[in-house]
Structure 1
Amino acid sequence: MSQPHVESQPLRRVVIDHAESELGRRLVATLADDPGAEVVAADRVIEEYASGPAPSTGAIDVILLAPGHGPEIDGSTLGGVDVASVRLLVRRLEAVGARANSVVVVSSAMVYGAEPDNPLPLTEDAPRRPAPDSPFAEAKVALENEAVRSGQVLGGAPVAVLRPCLVVAPTQAAVNWLSRSLWHGPTARLGSVDPPRQYLHIDDLVRAIDHARRHRLDGAFNVAPSDWISSSRQLELAGRPAAVRVPDPVAHRVAEIGWRFLVTSTPPDIVAYAMRAWVVSSDRLRATGWEPRFESAEVFVIGHHESWWSKLSARRRQDLSLVGLAVLAAAASGGAGSVVRHAVRGRQVGAPGR
């Protein structure tokens, strides 16, 4: 009895813009396990198109990561944003007549901005209004625009714009980064509000990228767990009391000094985002079949660094926090000595049993 004929699916070749980041390497590893996908270098594709007819394997999938020089901002391991490199890649592909089957770009939910009136949660229908003092968020908007253009010039391909929340990778470098960042609630309390946070496991982001590629998604999609965690929940998970609150008027200056002296791992550009809520809904992406495997609380625990600080007694942490805050605030105003003395004296007066 003859077996039914099963028509084989054509191999889909995938060009990844800058695959050397932690995110890129995890994506390459995922695609290596897919018999229907082959990761190819952009130069190879360009050479094939330039030498004659389009390859028999058909159009390519293009994944734009656009990592750039600069500090890590959102945990995606991409650092800054290099829009120019994406523009150059697309122009080279366009010049040889390359056609894309799909385009996926990794942006950020930070494009929605950090306004006090942000809805909770934000959906893809919210306007893009990046904080004016955040070059990272503004560059992500430019990257999205360039990605949409790339789909148009590469054969009218669908373009999936992915906007992840904060990302956490289970590596020591990533754990150290998060514990020293302005995103880490138990360490940094900037302003008068303790906003909720979302944390996305990097593997869930990888799966979202591949899902968007395979299903040729088109449009903007938030990438995040279905939940978010409050500041008090972060403190509970970290097993420590709240850090000393930095008042709104000096929050940016304190963040600047912390960055200058390598106390924090994130630049002061993100202060507005650290002080306000910008959690997002991923319902649109989940409706296409993607589901996160990790919740925010799980990811936060994965990314929490059990440091010398967390092993100190609550009272000792409070003493050190008061002195540290005083030094930073005083450095901003030029009166370190008097403010430190005031902070220590205040702590002594208010101590139990004194």
Structure 2
Amino acid sequence: MNSAVIIGCGYVGKAVAQRWQPTLQVTATTTTITRVSELEGVAHRVVILNGTDLAGMRSLLQDQPIVLLSVGARSGDAYEETYLGTARTLVEALKDAPAVQQVIYTGSYAVYGDQGGAWVDEESAIAPTNRNGEILAETEQVLLSVKNAVKVCIFRLGGIYGPGRTLVRIFGRSAGTTRPGSGDEPSNWVHLDDIVGAIDFARQQQLEGVYNLVGSVPLPVRVLLDRVCSQNGLPTVAWDPTQPSNRAYNARVSNQKLRTAGYQFVHPEVVETG
């Protein structure tokens, strides 16, 4: 049985582990000892690892052809250590891990920043609007610097929704409120099913390079929130165009490259929000 290691086994990593467990020998990492028993249900082995622990990372990567890096920062202050620190440690450890054939990383479309609502693809210039976006961009560059025969596949994820993380749960508190701006900015979301599906597709097809992982239809935020409210019997959201929007990201993100590679989206458009 082939093996894979998942560094960071949160909402996405745990779901990938469930997909891979029947056919791959899965090792999952966590920084939280209390999650070990939970992850033992979806992985063959669970390792407690801080992403900046070089010795631990070197040990982890031995005899592991596939590495999924799917970390998440607990707070804005932890971005640099969580993303950039872990990526630097991983790249250094790869020098002593000849078995690794592919690294798959789940990043964010936040690196595109404010593009004035224009369409962007993987060839578009990135323009992070804050330090955390810059950290995500730097993390990509660190991973893409990997030499030798390791294929690096970077997914720029949209906002994540799915079981336990429904859009009504995310936006329900906005019902009946007034938000600044017109709500015309595009929203880029991706369902957990498609994150897991695309990651597994990347593994099977040995993809490398950068791919946007978002749905096919970037609904305006106003339309999305109207849909959330109407489907769940909530009062609608009002908008105040006299106030500047507080959204840091404004771009229509294209997933055409991933679809051209052969991936077929399960949820190309947000339909169910509850």
- Give the Å deviation of 1:185: 8.9
Query: Which residue is 2:25 aligned to?
Result: 38
Conserved in 2, the CA contact under 8 Å of 1:106 and 1:163?
yes
- TM value normalised by structure 1: 0.60
Query: Which residue is 2:85 aligned to?
Result: 84
Query: Which residue is 2:211 aligned to?
Result: 221
Flag structure 1 segments of 5+ consecutive residues without an equivalent: 1-10, 72-77, 253-270, 303-354
Query: Which residue is 1:290 aligned to?
Result: 263
Picking from 207, 223, 228, the partner of 1:232 is 223
Query: Which residue is 1:194 aligned to?
Result: 184
Query: Which residue is 2:112 aligned to?
Result: 112
Flag structure 2 segments of 5+ consecutive residues without an equivalent: 30-46, 48-55
Q: Structure 1, residues 66-88: CA drift from partner, whole Å, max 9, x if none?
A: 322216xxxxxx9x953202322
Compared CA separation, residues 193 and 244, structure 1 to 2 (3 A): closer
Q: Structure 1, residues 259-300: CA drift from partner, whole Å, max 9, x if none?
A: xxxxxxxxxxxx322xxx32211111111221111143325x
2:181 aligned counterpart, secondary structure: coil
Query: Which residue is 2:50 aligned to?
Result: none
The number of residues matched between the two structures is 241
Conserved in 1, the CA contact under 8 Å of 2:57 and 2:89?
no
Q: Structure 1, residues 125-153: CA drift from partner, whole Å, max 9, x if none?
A: 1111111xx2332221011112112x31x
The 5-angstrom pairing of residues 1-354 of structure 1 reads: 11-19=1-9, 21-33=10-22, 35=23, 37-40=24-27, 46-47=58-59, 55=63, 60-70=65-75, 81-94=82-95, 96-116=96-116, 118-119=117-118, 121-131=119-129, 134-149=130-145, 151-152=146-147, 155-171=148-164, 175-180=168-173, 189-192=179-182, 194-230=184-220, 231-232=222-223, 234-239=225-230, 240-245=235-240, 247-248=242-243, 271-273=247-249, 277-299=250-272, 301-302=273-274
Query: Which residue is 1:324 aligned to?
Result: none
Letter in 2 for 1:199: W
Compared CA separation, residues 297 and 187, structure 1 to 2 (3 A): farther
Conserved in 2, the CA contact under 8 Å of 1:222 and 1:280?
yes
Q: Between Structure 1 and Structure 2, which shows a larger proportion of strand residues?
A: 2
Compared CA separation, residues 15 and 188, structure 1 to 2 (3 A): farther
1:225 aligned counterpart, secondary structure: coil
Q: Between Structure 1 and Structure 2, which shows a larger proportion of helix residues?
A: 1
Determine the C-alpha separation between the residues in 1 that align with 2:236 and 2:166.
24
**Bigger CA radius of gyration:** 1
Letter in 1 for 2:152: V
Q: Over aligned residues, Cα RMSD in angstroms? A: 3.1
Letter in 2 for 1:146: V
Q: Structure 1, residues 173-216: CA drift from partner, whole Å, max 9, x if none?
A: 87533434xxx697563324521323211121111112112211
- TM value normalised by structure 2: 0.75
Q: Structure 1, residues 220-268: CA drift from partner, whole Å, max 9, x if none?
A: 111122212232354145224332426445x55xxxxxxxxxxxxxxxx
